[in-house]
Amino acid sequence: MKSSNRFSITQRLKSFKYAFAGLKTLFIEEHNARIHLVSAVIAIGLGFALKISLNEWISLIVVMGLVFICELINTSLEAMADFASPEKHPQIKKVKDLAAASVLISAVVALLVGIIIFYPKITEACTHN
């Protein structure tokens, strides 16, 4: 526990350093995170190409953020569970399965939002050509 509650710019900058280290770990070690990243880049590219509205951008950003947040929490829980119980244990499996389910649900929601936003624009663009 920290003994001082004084605000420190140095400590705030270090917290960013730790956060970026976590992101680096996520993308280096987690294959699914890289898949989510590629999907996000594609969605952003489509957003620019199809000139989506401000509200559509907000929706995309929120669901993409949700997927990455769930992936980070899932990865954190898995790492902690593996550390706490290296051997297989039914409760650890339950925790890991539940955390993985959060990633699945967030990814499905993001996919549905992407379909709702992009499908009409893509079909419209295809019918005008």
Say whether pLDDT at 3 is over 60: no
pLDDT band, very low/low/confident/very high, at 14 (cuts 50, 70, 90): confident
Q: Round to whole Å and give the CA distance between 23 and 75.
A: 11
pLDDT at 129: 66
pLDDT at 4: 64
Q: Is 103 buried (19+), middle (13-18) or exposed (0-12) by CB count in 10 A?
A: buried
Query: What average pLDDT does this structure show over 79-86?
Result: 93
Say whether pLDDT at 2 is over 60: no
The answer to whether the Cα torsion of 79, 99, 115, 48 is positive or negative is negative
Give domain limits for the chain. 55-129
Q: Fold for 55-129, please state it.
A: Helix Hairpins (1.10.287)
Q: What's the predicted TM-score (pTM) here?
A: 0.88
Residue 57 contacts residue 43 (beta carbons within 8 Å)? no
State pLDDT tens for residues 20-69: 999 999 999 999 999 999 999 999 999 999 999 999 999 999 999 999 99
